[in-house]
């Protein structure tokens, strides 16, 4: 049984312990480990939270150390990127009957879309045909809202790949799964392996190959691990490619939207920029060029985190809004638009957030973003993502308790930004801005917008940027880091994180189910079987599991879990106190801050076991 003393011992052990050593959380892949740097992030003030996030992000660029892990700047990673860039260049040179497909689930799928649209836009600007396509598990509605269940479907993964590449003779498939875990992507990679005459598979993820998920996938003869094993064999002949540097554990355990998402963006931009430069400006794809480009992203971290105080102030403002049941709104323009939507959509599965807690809006909405399925008829109130939807649905009810963040750069229509800022300011003084400009370029309206906002993070980027790297990519990564920090920090301040675990995660797919069961084990000290039992009782809202429930499959469990709030806290309270589901629910209602409720139970548990 867990006691505080035991928890303290674990803490002390972990704080001094390096996540790279073989005996650190040995049963977990790196992407699911808890980061020793953030063990106390749940009790830290905003300024310390930002510093911890900075330290975690910096781990991405640490050079290879004693451990056997490949890192972002490793030799092997740069070499694989070079080879993949050459394949992209071949397709650019000879686009007929060829296609590049990027695919993933959740944030990985959203980034697949983000990178695909940016690359195609650039090609069209040069009168070249678009050669890239994207797939996201759950279709386009998953671009802007959380859809976790389709991640478990390998058949739909394979079918969607087949459909998008119909009639093509040469397909470069890039599957993204940060944890090397999504069955949807495994199904697609397996499909590629079965049709080697057409498909060359590339896998992007952030665990070493041997840590790829090895659980059976219902209805399939392969696992993610077995697919990776086959790909490793083919990689020796350059018939498949694995790009899987290790980044260190996420700041919030398992939250791959953070470092995983950033590194996905970095790696794919490096590949596409190198191929683009080779094709359009005859710049050869070289090892040094790739490495230099990778390193230049490290500077984005430095520039972004040089504004720690400002980021912390925004985090506090957003935290206050969430604490009193109000919201955080991202209003963005141009290339930064999608980043706000991506950040907002991931808060639901990670923190059990309501869609209204954090919402993103981008200028013209879907029309501007150019997604495949066009204007999305999203269900109910989650319908609009354009500024006009904000004006119609959100602005009328906005108060000082809500936080609004404007995201724009000097290459956007700053007149429009000022116009909207004025309207927002009439309703709330709690408005902030993230503004990117290059040295020497200032928009005339900037002074006015600054006055309207209580705080502006003004990032001034040097004109002479590293040759291979677009300014826009810098602004995007920088904005992503700020938004991840603000939304993560705000949820921490709201009490949605315990130590560095997401204690109110949604249990809406098999990976999240396993993560939840593991968390219950860790926090309660009870065996796996008991924890799973408690999880199921919380999902089905019963005190006794029926035969029917016990025989349901995992898909039914995760489907049912969609409708229940606070599943994991509920299961934990039951495990620690022996309360019935109803009693646990009323306990959680009395203590709506989940972290405090969990801590109170852990304390009672200690007192109880101490008095025995
Ligand atoms: O299932 C939820 C989730 O963890 C998302 O938060 C994440 O973006 C997505 O899965 C994809 O994970 P991965 O890139 O590891 O396949």
> Quick one: CA dihedral 345, 351, 356, 357, positive or negative?
negative
Q: How far is the CA of 109 from the centre of ligand 1 (A)?
A: 9
Q: How far is the CA of 253 from the centre of ligand 1 (A)?
A: 12
Task: Take atom 9 of ligand 1 and give the residue whose Cα is closest.
Answer: 106
Half-sphere exposure (Cβ direction) of 67: Cα atoms closer than 13 Å? 18
How is residue 397 written in tokens? 């009810």
- The burial class, CB within 10 Å (0-12 / 13-18 / 19+), for 545 is middle
DSSP-derived pairing of the beta strands 501-502 and 497-498 = antiparallel
Q: Residue 119 region, left (φ>0) first, then alpha (ψ -120 to 50), else beta? A: alpha
Asked if 366 and 337 touch (Cβ cutoff 8 Å), the reply is: no
CA–CA dist 294, 469 (Å, integer):
9
CA 265 to chain centre: 11
Q: How far is the CA of 107 from the centre of ligand 1 (A)?
A: 6
Q: How far is CA 246 from CA 179, 195, 588, in A?
A: 10, 29, 38
Half-sphere exposure (Cβ direction) of 48: Cα atoms closer than 13 Å? 11
Task: Take atom 16 of ligand 1 and give the residue whose Cα is closest.
Answer: 177
Task: Take atom 7 of ligand 1 and give the residue whose Cα is closest.
Answer: 106
The strands making up 455-461's β-sheet, listed across from edge to edge, are 358-362, 328-332, 403-409, 431-438, 455-461
Beta carbons within 8 Å of 41's beta carbon, 6+ residues apart: 49, 52, 251, 252, 492, 497, 499, 500
- The burial class, CB within 10 Å (0-12 / 13-18 / 19+), for 511 is buried
CA–CA dist 479, 482 (Å, integer):
5
Pick from 464, 433, 480: nearest CA to 335 = 480
Model pLDDT for residues 564-590, shown as the tens digit of each residue: 999 999 999 999 999 999 999 998 999
How is residue 224 written in tokens? 């993610």
Please tell me the predicted confidence (pLDDT) of residue 465. 57
How is residue 388 written in tokens? 């006009």
Residue 371, SS3 per DSSP: coil
Asked if 266 and 245 touch (Cβ cutoff 8 Å), the reply is: no
Please tell me the predicted confidence (pLDDT) of residue 13. 42
How is residue 336 written in tokens? 């930064």
Please tell me the predicted confidence (pLDDT) of residue 464. 63
DSSP 450-496: HHHSSEEEEEEE-SS--TTS-HHHHHHHHHHHHHHHHHHHHHHHTT-
Torsions phi, psi for 436 (to 5 deg)? -110, 135
Q: How far is the CA of 31 from the centre of ligand 1 (A)?
A: 11
Please tell me the predicted confidence (pLDDT) of residue 383. 64
Please tell me the predicted confidence (pLDDT) of residue 63. 84
Report, as ranges of residue numbers, the positions in the chain whose pLDDT lies below 70.
1-17, 64-67, 377-383, 464-469, 605, 607-612
Mutating to test ligand 1, I would choose from 256, 349, 353 the residue with most ligand atoms within 8 A of its C-beta, which is 256
Torsions phi, psi for 537 (to 5 deg)? -60, -40
Binding-site residues, ligand 1, Cβ < 6 A: 104-108, 148, 151, 176-179, 181-182, 256-257, 346, 349, 509, 511-512
Model pLDDT for residues 331-353, shown as the tens digit of each residue: 999 889 899 999 999 999 999 99
């Amino acid at each position: 049984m867990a006691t505080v003393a035991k928890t303290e011992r674990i803490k002390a052990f972990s704080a001094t312990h390096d996540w790279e050593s073989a005996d650190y959380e040995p049963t977990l892949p790196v992407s699911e480990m808890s980061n020793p740097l953030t063990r106390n992030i749940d009790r830290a003030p905003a300024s310390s939270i930002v510093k911890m996030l900075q330290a975690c992000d910096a781990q991405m660029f640490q050079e290879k150390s004693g451990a056997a892990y490949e890192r972002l700047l490793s030799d092997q990673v740069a070499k694989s990127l070079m080879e993949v860039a050459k394949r992209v260049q071949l397709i650019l040179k000879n686009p007929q009957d060829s296609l590049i497909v990027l695919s993933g689930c959740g944030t990985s799928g959203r980034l697949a879309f983000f990178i695909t649209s940016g690359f195609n836009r650039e090609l069209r600007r040069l009168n070249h045909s678009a050669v890239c396509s994207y797939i996201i598990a759950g279709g386009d509605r998953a671009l802007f809202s959380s859809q976790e269940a389709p991640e478990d479907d390998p058949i739909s993964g394979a079918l969607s790949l087949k459909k998008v590449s119909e009639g093509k003779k040469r397909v470069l498939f890039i599957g993204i799964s940060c944890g090397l875990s999504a069955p949807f992507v495994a199904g697609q990679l397996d499909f590629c392996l079965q049709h080697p005459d057409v498909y060359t598979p590339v896998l992007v993820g952030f665990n070493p190959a041997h840590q790829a998920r090895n659980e059976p996938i219902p209805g399939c003869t392969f696992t993610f691990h077995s697919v990776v094993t086959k790909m490793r064999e083919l990689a020796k002949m350059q018939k498949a490619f694995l790009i899987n540097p290790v980044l260190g554990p996420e700041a919030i355990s398992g939250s791959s939207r953070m470092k995983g998402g950033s590194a996905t963006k970095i790696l794919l931009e490096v590949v596409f920029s190198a191929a683009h430069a080779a094709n359009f400006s005859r710049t050869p794809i070289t090892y040094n060029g790739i490495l230099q480009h990778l390193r230049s992203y490290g500077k984005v971290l430095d520039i972004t985190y040089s504004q720690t105080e400002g980021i912390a102030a925004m985090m506090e403002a957003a935290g206050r809004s969430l604490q009193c049941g109000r919201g955080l709104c991202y209003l963005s323009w141009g290339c930064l638009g999608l980043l706000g939507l991506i950040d907002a959509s991931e808060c639901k599965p990670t923190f059990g957030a309501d869609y209204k807690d954090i919402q993103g809006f981008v200028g013209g909405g879907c029309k501007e973003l150019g997604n495949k399925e066009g204007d999305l008829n999203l269900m109910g109130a989650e319908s609009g993502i354009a500024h006009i939807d904000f004006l119609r649905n959100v602005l009328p009810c906005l108060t000082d308790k809500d936080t609004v963040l404007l995201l724009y750069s000097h290459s956007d229509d700053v007149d429009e930004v000022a116009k909207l800022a004025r309207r927002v300011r009439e309703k709330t003084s709690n408005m902030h801005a993230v503004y990117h400009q290059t040295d020497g370029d200032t928009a005339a309206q900037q002074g006015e917008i600054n006055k309207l906002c209580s705080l502006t993070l003004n990032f001034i980027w040097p004109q002479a940027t590293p040759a291979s790297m677009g300014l826009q990519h810098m602004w995007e990564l920088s904005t992503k880091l700020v938004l991840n920090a603000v939304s993560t920090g705000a949820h921490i301040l709201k009490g949605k994180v315990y130590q560095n675990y997401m204690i109110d995660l949604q249990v809406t797919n098999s990976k999240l189910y396993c993560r939840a069961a593991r968390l219950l084990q860790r926090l309660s000290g009870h065996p796996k079987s008991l924890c799973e039992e408690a999880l199921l009782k919380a999902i089905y809202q019963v005190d006794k599991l029926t035969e029917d429930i016990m025989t349901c499959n995992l898909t039914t469990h995760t489907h049912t879990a969609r409708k229940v709030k606070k599943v994991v806290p509920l299961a934990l309270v039951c495990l620690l106190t022996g309360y019935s589901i109803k009693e646990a629910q009323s306990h959680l209602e009395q203590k709506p801050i989940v972290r405090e409720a969990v801590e109170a139970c852990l304390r009672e548990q200690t007192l109880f076991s101490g008095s025995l």
